[in-house]
Amino acid sequence: MEQKYKNLSLTWFGDVTSISAEAQYARSLLQPLIEGGAYVKLEPMDSGLPPADLSSWWVATLGINTKYQPGFVKINHSKPPKVTANILGGPNILLTNWDTYNLPEGWRDFINRNHIECITPGHIINGPGVKVTGLEVNLNEVFPSVTINNTDSRGAANIVDINSNTVVYGFTGSWNQRSNIQDLITAYTCEFTEKDNVALLIKTNGRTPSDANERAQILDLVRKIKGTVNKAGQPPVIVLQDIFSQEAMDAIINRIDIYVSAARGGQLNTTGLKCLAAGKTCILPSIGINGALVSRYAKDYPLVVRGYGVSLEPQVSHPDSNPLDQWGRPDLCGLIQQMRESFIDHLTKNPEKAKQSVKLAAKVQKDYSQEASVDALAKVLAKYSTVQTIKI
């Protein structure tokens, strides 16, 4: 591989080993940097989340790069309260994301005091999905990248027992307030019946996927949510809580016909981007990265990128939440309407939608290419990096 990043020297602190979207984002940036010659000292952070099924490349790299001496630039890929100092006294850069519409109230002063740059996964400067005020340090964007794995969706049949002609709505995400799976199940159950031949596929997990009690609690919550909809003949909801390999996850994602989200916020959406890059219909709330994607693509591809409204509400009853911070409350009537219209389009094989899908897939793959994302990060690092080659 071309050694285009050989002049970069850095220490990376953060979660690089878990199943989280943040760790997936980190791995998508770090592997090309390291393969491209960058000197990278890895300081993995224990996020407490389940470990991913890592590739052999990552297993070997963790065994080597964790033993390096520190690089000149320190990247703290974490929420501000968890950052660590740059022991070399070099530049400290924060790479972070937040769930709320604006930068959280308690973060501004800390970031301004302790960092020279702040990098986010994107859509802050030119997008409507999130907002930032009060930062005195440089602000940069490094968009998440998307890679297409054409794993045959029939491979998901060993994991998901769904008929081949069933229309599958899908969502992946942790079971928490941000993912807002409760509203998603409610909207789906209100709109469809078992006669529609649809399924809602949810890949989710709690803090400890191996905990049988926690898994049972999530299933019980799904039953209770469905029970609040006083309606006979409810459509099926399929819940997956195991940890899958990337190949298996790609097979599951490929089986999704229509991606749908009721998330209250967030700046990362790996599954949504993969679905867009494959030309799948995506139904997204107008907040966070989802709102930015709607703003970016819905005008030209309205049958594929389907946005619906949100209202802002205080963030409460959430870890480290501040009632002065706000995130989105999805408009369930708007969500239901988009689910029904996308269902009709799918069944009728709308030719205009098919054309838009092909064009959108090519556009998203270009806009969110891995090379563009890594080059954007390298451009920031190049301002500060000096090469170190000391290893132990």
pLDDT (average), residues 325-349: 96
Rounded CA separation 257/282 (Å): 9
Rounded CA separation 340/60 (Å): 47
pLDDT of amino acid 17? 95
308 located within any domain: yes
286 located within any domain: yes
2 located within any domain: no
The sheet with strand 92-95 has its strands ordered as: 39-44, 9-14, 73-77, 92-95, 117-120, 138-141
pLDDT of amino acid 299? 96
pLDDT (average), residues 372-383: 94
* Residues 308 and 275 placed together within one structural domain of the fold: yes
Closest Cα partner for 335 from 303, 308, 306, 297? 308
pLDDT of amino acid 158? 57
Q: Is the pLDDT of residue 37 over 50?
A: yes
Q: Is the pLDDT of residue 148 over 90?
A: no
pLDDT in tens, 167-196: 999 999 999 999 999 999 999 999 999 999
* Residues 373 and 337 placed together within one structural domain of the fold: no
pLDDT in tens, 113-133: 999 999 998 776 656 667 788
Structural domains in the chain (count): 2
Asked if 59 and 42 count as a contact pair (C-beta separation under 8 A), the reply is no
Q: Is the pLDDT of residue 289 over 60?
A: yes
Which of the four pLDDT bands, split at 50, 70 and 90, describes residue 387?
A: low
pLDDT of amino acid 389? 47
CATH number of domain containing 299:
3.40.50.2000
pLDDT (average), residues 33-60: 93
Q: Is the pLDDT of residue 156 over 70?
A: no
Q: What is the residue-averaged pLDDT of the chain?
A: 90
Q: How many CA atoms lie within 13 A of 305 on its CB side?
A: 25
Helices 288-297 and 351-367 pack at an angle, to 10 degrees, of: 120
Q: Which two tokens stand for residue 12?
A: 């990376």
Query: Of 386 and 34, which is predicted with more confidence?
Result: 34
Domain ranges, residue 341: 153-367
* Residues 252 and 270 placed together within one structural domain of the fold: yes
Q: Is 164 strand, coil or helix?
A: coil
* Residues 159 and 298 placed together within one structural domain of the fold: yes
Query: Of 182 and 157, which is predicted with more confidence?
Result: 182
pLDDT of amino acid 125? 61
Rounded CA separation 339/238 (Å): 17
Predicted TM-score (pTM) of this structure: 0.92
Asked if 281 and 342 count as a contact pair (C-beta separation under 8 A), the reply is yes
* Residues 135 and 183 placed together within one structural domain of the fold: no
391 located within any domain: no
* Residues 323 and 377 placed together within one structural domain of the fold: no
Which of the four pLDDT bands, split at 50, 70 and 90, describes residue 160?
A: low
pLDDT of amino acid 152? 64
> Of the ranges 12-26, 119-133, 145-159, which is most confident?
12-26
203 located within any domain: yes
